[in-house]
Amino acid sequence: MSIIKVIEVMSNSTKSWEDATQNAVSHAAQSLHNIKSVWIEDQSAVIHNNRITEYRVNVKLSFEVDLVDKEAK
């Protein structure tokens, strides 16, 4: 049996929404493992002088939780 947990992460990039999403996954992967999927919940951008200067995403990451087998101990 596996347990999947979902967390919400906000991230940004000066390149693209795709890069902002990858930044969210890469940063989360520093402390989480078994990341299974990412769902982009929301996108926004910062505008300066009529140009996009920052891409922002709100994503939901799902990852598998490690179960400790109490009987194995």
Q: For residue 23, which phi and psi values (nearest 5 degrees)?
A: -60, -40
CATH code for position 57: 3.30.1660.10
Mean pLDDT of the chain: 93
Name the H helices within 1-73: 17-28
> What pLDDT does residue 72 have?
54
Kindly tell me if the per-residue pLDDT of 37 is higher than 70: yes
- The Cα-based distances of 68 to 2, 7, 65 in angstroms read 11, 21, 10
Question: What is the value of pTM for the model shown?
Answer: 0.84
- 2 pLDDT band, cuts 50/70/90, is confident
Residue 21 domain boundaries: 3-72
> What pLDDT does residue 70 have?
55
> What pLDDT does residue 21 have?
98
Domain total in the chain = 1
Cα–Cα distance between 56 and 10 in angstroms, integer? 7
Give bridge partners of residue 51 from the DSSP assignment.
48
Kindly tell me if the per-residue pLDDT of 18 is higher than 90: yes
